């Protein structure tokens, strides 16, 4: 049975769709003609796979998910664009992921082993890394770049074009309007940094000395006595020997001219009086 493909009689699979081995397509699913369903994918029921969408091997998709719908972008002219989903993802009820736009990258890409809980949304032209978790209702605007091992809390919205670095953790019900550095915790409306994701760093096997070094780098980069650009140059010289620290430094240094890096919450401030 493991290598046998099963398509429920009530499912619609258009001619031209590419279906791998061991695929299970449940009741009332729809698979479009330009879709690719790789080996051992399971579409539980009432799943819509539209457009030029590829679902990676071993992925399980739950009811009412819609994958590969046209982008919600008025600039899109209707050309062929793609959605690529990596292997071994879990895509829960009501999740939506859109294809790219033909006026931009033309592709939305999702990495392997992602866990997307109910009603999460990935908009057009996003690039999402591997081993991410999006809690219920987590939402990305278009053109976002999400690193590996990122956790985004429930009902959190990430503004278009925002970058989130590897191993970052964003708390629930947050509004993220700027870039989140790697290894950080961020939360709030508007989100501010709350320090480094120490628990996540420990779970990843990082040595205590390296964690202390990252803390020093964090304090240097966000020292309020100097502009961030000056702090970056100081950090480049002081932490050049540490690949982990330089990951944070380079993330800030390589931001676009219009990119905004989310700063730490000011000491003694609360979400209600944090600056927008």
pLDDT digits (tens, 9 = 90+) for 126-152: 999 999 999 999 999 999 999 999 999
153 and 209 fall within a common domain = no
Q: pLDDT category, 273, cuts 50, 70, 90?
A: very low
156 and 224 fall within a common domain = no
Domain hosting residue 214, numbered range? 202-267
Which of 133, 161, 189 is where one domain is finished?
161
Q: pLDDT category, 268, cuts 50, 70, 90?
A: low
- Residue 272 predicted with pLDDT over 60: no
156 and 217 fall within a common domain = no
pLDDT tens-place string over residues 76-118: 999 999 999 999 999 999 999 999 999 998 999 999 999 999 9
Q: In the chain, count of helices (H) and strands (E)?
A: 4, 28
Q: Which is it for strands 36-37 and 133-134: parallel, antiparallel or unpaired?
A: unpaired
Classify residue 187: in a domain, yes or no.
Answer: no
Classify residue 206: in a domain, yes or no.
Answer: yes
Classify residue 273: in a domain, yes or no.
Answer: no
Classify residue 69: in a domain, yes or no.
Answer: yes
- Indicate which residues carry an active-site annotation: 124-125, 142
Number of domains in the chain: 2
157 and 215 fall within a common domain = no
132 and 219 fall within a common domain = no
Closest CA to 63 of 14, 119, 115: 119
155 and 249 fall within a common domain = no
User: Across residues 36-50, what is the average pLDDT?
Assistant: 98
Total-model pTM: 0.95
Distances (CA, A) of 261 to 7, 30, 130, 161, 235: 48, 41, 22, 12, 16
H or E segment and range at residue 234? helix 228-238
User: Across residues 225-232, what is the average pLDDT?
Assistant: 95
CA-to-CA distance for 257 and 211, rounded, in angstroms? 30
Classify residue 15: in a domain, yes or no.
Answer: yes
In contact, 67 and 53? CB cutoff 8 Å? yes
Looking at residue 274, its pLDDT comes to 44
In contact, 186 and 202? CB cutoff 8 Å? no
CA-to-CA distance for 92 and 233, rounded, in angstroms? 44
Closest CA to 115 of 68, 158, 161, 154: 154
12 backbone dihedrals φ, ψ, rounded to 5°: -115, 120
258 and 144 fall within a common domain = no
The mean pLDDT value of the chain amounts to: 95
- Residue 275 predicted with pLDDT over 50: no
Classify residue 186: in a domain, yes or no.
Answer: no
Q: Work out the number of other CB atoms within 10 angstroms of the CB of residue 52.
A: 19
71 and 131 fall within a common domain = yes
Looking at residue 269, its pLDDT comes to 62
Classify residue 172: in a domain, yes or no.
Answer: no
133 and 218 fall within a common domain = no
147 and 218 fall within a common domain = no
User: Residue 61's beta-bridge partner residues?
Assistant: 43, 91
154 and 208 fall within a common domain = no
144 and 221 fall within a common domain = no
Which of 161, 183, 210 is where one domain is finished?
161
Classify residue 139: in a domain, yes or no.
Answer: yes
128: domain CATH number is 2.160.10.10
């Amino acid at each position: 049975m493991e290598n046998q493909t099963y398509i429920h009689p009530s499912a619609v699979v258009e001619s031209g769709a590419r279906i791998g081995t061991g695929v299970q397509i449940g009741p009332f699913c729809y698979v479009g003609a330009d879709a690719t369903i790789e080996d051992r994918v399971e579409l539980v029921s009432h799943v819509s796979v539209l457009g030029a969408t590829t679902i990676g091997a071993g992925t399980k998709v739950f009811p009412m998910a819609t994958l590969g719908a046209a982008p919600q972008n008025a600039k899109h002219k209707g050309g062929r664009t793609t959605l690529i989903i990596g292997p071994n993802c879990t895509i829960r009820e009501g999740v939506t992921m859109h294809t790219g736009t033909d006026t931009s990258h033309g592709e939305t890409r999702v990495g392997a082993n992602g866990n997307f809980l109910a009603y999460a949304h990935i908009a057009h032209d996003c690039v999402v890394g591997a081993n991410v978790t999006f809690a219920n209702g987590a939402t990305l605007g278009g053109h976002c770049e999400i690193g590996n091992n990122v956790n985004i809390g429930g009902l959190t919205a990430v503004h278009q074009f925002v970058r989130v670095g590897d191993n970052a953790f964003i708390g629930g019900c947050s509004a993220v309007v700027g870039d989140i550095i790697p290894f950080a915790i961020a939360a709030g409306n508007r989100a501010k940094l709350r320090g480094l994701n120490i628990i996540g760093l420990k779970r990843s096997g990082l040595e205590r000395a390296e964690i202390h070094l990252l803390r020093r780098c964090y304090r240097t980069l966000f020292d309020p006595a100097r502009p961030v650009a000056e702090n970056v140059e100081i950090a480049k010289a002081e932490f050049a020997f540490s690949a982990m620290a330089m990951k944070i430094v380079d993330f800030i240094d390589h931001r676009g001219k219009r990119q905004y890096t989310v700063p730490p919450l000011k000491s003694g401030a609360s979400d209600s009086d944090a600056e927008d």
